[in-house]
Amino acid sequence: MGLVACDRCTRLWPIGTPRCGRCGHRLASRDRMSLQRVWAWWIVALICYIPANTYPMLSTRMLMSTDEGTIVGGALELAQHGDYAVAIIIIVASVFIPIGKFMAVAALALGVQHGSRMSALRRQQLYEVVEYIGRWSMIDVFVVAILSSLVQLGALASIKPGTASLFFALSVIFTMLSAQSFDSRMIWDKSPDPTPEPAKAPA
C-alpha cells in the first residue's frame, strides 16, 4: 500500500486519503500545477532575457563622454583589448549558461508531458545540474554592483548599472523559480521499475 506525506506536518497517510487527519491539510502525492508554474515562470524569464541582451548593462560616464554597452558588446570589446579570458567568462555566464538552462528546463517539462528518449536517470541528473548552476547565475549582476560601488569619482568618472542589469536579474530569478517549480518525482512516474535479480540458492 502506498503512502503520501503531508506537506505541512509530514505525517504519513495511505494514498487516497483526501486530508491530513492531524492538521487538515489537503494531501497530494504529486503537485498537479507543477508544470503550469514551470511554463509560466519559464515564459516570463524568456521575455526578460531578451531586453537583458539588447539594453545596456553598464553606463560609464567619463569627464567628457558617456559610454553604454550591452553584455555581448562589452565582451567583444574586452576581446579586442586582449582580455580573452574575461570575455569568454562573460559570454559563457551571460549567454551560454542562461540559454542552456532555458533548453534544459523546457526539455524536462516536455519529457514529462510527451515522453523522452532520454532515460529517467539522465533527466534526473540534468535537473540536478540545473539546480546547481542556478546558484551561480547572478554573477553578472554582482560584478555590475561591485563596479558601480567602487568606481564613483564624482565629476571625473562613474559607473552605473544599465537597464539590462534589472532585466537580467529578473530573468535569473524567474528561471530559478521555474526550475524549483518542477516536481522531479514526475520524471520517474512513467519509468519502468527495475526487475529484481533472483536470489541465488546457497551452495
At 49-91, the pLDDT tens digits run 999 888 887 776 666 666 677 878 877 877 887 878 878 887 8
Give the number of other Cβ atoms within 10 Å of residue 66's Cβ. 10
How far from 54 is each of 23, 32, 86, 91, 163, CA to CA, in Å?
Answer: 50, 36, 20, 14, 9
Residue 106's pLDDT band, with cuts at 50, 70 and 90, is very high
Whole-number pLDDT of residue 39:
95
Write the CB contacts of 116 (distance below 8 Å, at least 6 apart in sequence): 107, 110, 123
Whole-number pLDDT of residue 192:
61
Q: Which triple of cell numbers denotes residue 98?
A: 542562461
Whole-number pLDDT of residue 150:
52
pLDDT digits (tens, 9 = 90+) for 147-199: 555 555 555 556 677 788 889 889 988 998 999 889 887 887 766 655 555 55
Whole-number pLDDT of residue 103:
94
pLDDT digits (tens, 9 = 90+) for 23-37: 988 887 777 788 999
Whole-number pLDDT of residue 8:
78
Mean per-residue pLDDT, 99-106 = 93
Residue 143's pLDDT band, with cuts at 50, 70 and 90, is low
Whole-number pLDDT of residue 4:
82
Residue 201, classed as helix, strand or coil, is coil
Whole-number pLDDT of residue 30:
73
Whole-number pLDDT of residue 193:
55
Mean per-residue pLDDT, 130-159 = 63
